[in-house]
Structure 1
Amino acid sequence: MSERQTAAGPGNKARARASIAIALFLALLAALFLWQPDNLYLWIKALHLIAVMSWMAALLYMPRLFIYHTDAAPGSEQSETFKVMEQRLLKVIMNPAMMITWVLGLYLAWRFYGFQGGWLHAKLLLVVILTGVHVLFARAVRAFGRDENTRSARYWRLMNEAPTLLMILIVIMAVVKPF
């Protein structure tokens, strides 16, 4: 019989795989900076977009977990499973993706745009707000972990929309550059 995914073994394996993936990502980044290809901007932008997509996927999935977790009885097997899922999503995907997004985004803003442009300032403000949503979700993971969630499923349904709305505005700022 296979080991339950909520057990420590699969969690450690997932953490190891995520660590290897992050290490490979960072090695690729280091190689690019050493190599200095003519199209470095495009490479950094591609890696930034990969990190953004990973971060957004996690930000869009986390409140869905909260909605279902809200309906689970504290201490139940279902609630304990959600705790593991939320913790792994936060630690293995959400946090690393956010950090990589920020580092590469700030590098692009500094190196290729000189932090100039109203669109860039607006985009950075929206990313700061998105990071605030991330922090709110991280705090909720800790509250659910202690069986202290005070929010309703309806609240989490509404919060599920926040990352989407921010993402739309951020993409418009980055692509259209309206000002």
Structure 2
Amino acid sequence: MNSDEKQVSESAGRRANKRAITALAVFVAIILVLYVWQPDSFHLWIKALHVVAVISWMAALFYLPRLFIYHSDAEPGSAQSETFKMMEQRLLKVIMNPAMMISWVLGLYLAWDVYGFQGGWLHAKIALVVLLTGVHVLFSRAVRTFSADGPRKSPRYWRIMNEAPTLLMIAIVILVIVKPF
């Protein structure tokens, strides 16, 4: 088996999934240890971990459409296309999905614990995060479409879609920092 075949093998994908599950389990264990070890500053730890998860989620949301741009130009079934498929699937399963889940869980915990779900800015932020999750779902579907060598959108489409997470992120950060209403 050459290195190209090894990169796209099913066993490599299973190992990546196991690593993602292990990472989530370790993350939950860290949360529990922090709750016991640092109860007075637990919400600060949650905020810090929430920011780390959001940064990871956003990095994946920025990178995945770039992969789609290049993948759109690759011939279906080619070695290049198969490599993009594996890269997209691993980015989605190992980074993007866990980071989104952690962002949501910790974010909702903070909305409840720190803010009591109060504030117009918080409701607007949650609405924008729902839209960001919609972008995530759209990208997830595209990963499946590319994986099945289904109909492809143009590189121009993916260049435009690459801006959606950026615009939503800017609005979300402004709401969180400025709290305009």
Q: TM-score range by the shorter chain?
A: over 0.9
Post-superposition shift, 1:32? 2.1
Query: Sequence identity, in percent?
Result: 69
Give the one of 78, 96, 99 matched to 1:97. 99
Give the secondary-structure state (helix, strand or coil) at the position aligned to 1:114.
coil
Letter in 2 for 1:17: R
Q: How big is each residue's C-alpha offset from its partner over 1:24-62, in whole Å with a ceiling of 9 and x where there is no partner?
A: 111011122334521111100001111101100110000
2:36 corresponds to which residue?
A: 34
Q: How big is each residue's C-alpha offset from its partner over 1:102-126, in whole Å with a ceiling of 9 and x where there is no partner?
A: 0000000011101000110110010
Query: Is the Cα–Cα contact under 8 Å of residues 140 and 149 in structure 1 kept in the other structure?
Result: no
Give the one of 147, 163, 172 matched to 2:165. 163
Instruction: Give me the whole-angstrom Cα distance separating, in 2, the residues matched to 1:133 and 1:63.
Output: 11
Instruction: Give me the whole-angstrom Cα distance separating, in 1, the residues matched to 2:49 and 2:153.
Output: 35
Query: Is the Cα–Cα contact under 8 Å of residues 15 and 92 in structure 1 kept in the other structure?
Result: yes
Instruction: Give me the whole-angstrom Cα distance separating, in 1, the residues matched to 2:99 and 2:140.
Output: 14
Per mean C-alpha deviation after superposition, the further-off stretch among 81-90 and 31-40 is 31-40
Counterparts of 1:124-135 in structure 2 under 5 Å? 124-135=126-137
Letter in 2 for 1:7: S
Give the secondary-structure state (helix, strand or coil) at the position aligned to 1:99.
helix
Considering only aligned residues, what root-mean-square deviation do their CA atoms show, in Å?
A: 1.6
Post-superposition shift, 1:13? 3.5
2:140 corresponds to which residue?
A: 138
Return closer, same or farther for 1:27/1:2 CA change in 2, 3 Å cut-off.
farther
TM-score by length of 1: 0.94
Query: Is the Cα–Cα contact under 8 Å of residues 70 and 149 in structure 1 kept in the other structure?
Result: no
Letter in 1 for 2:49: L
Instruction: Give me the whole-angstrom Cα distance separating, in 2, the residues matched to 1:19 and 1:30.
Output: 17
Query: Is the Cα–Cα contact under 8 Å of residues 61 and 96 in structure 2 kept in the other structure?
Result: yes
Post-superposition shift, 1:6? 2.4
Counterparts of 1:1-179 in structure 2 under 5 Å? 3=3, 4-179=6-181
Q: Which runs of 5+ in 2 are unaligned?
A: none
Query: Is the Cα–Cα contact under 8 Å of residues 20 and 93 in structure 2 kept in the other structure?
Result: no
Instruction: Give me the whole-angstrom Cα distance separating, in 1, the residues matched to 2:48 and 2:146.
Output: 35
Q: Which runs of 5+ in 1 are unaligned?
A: none
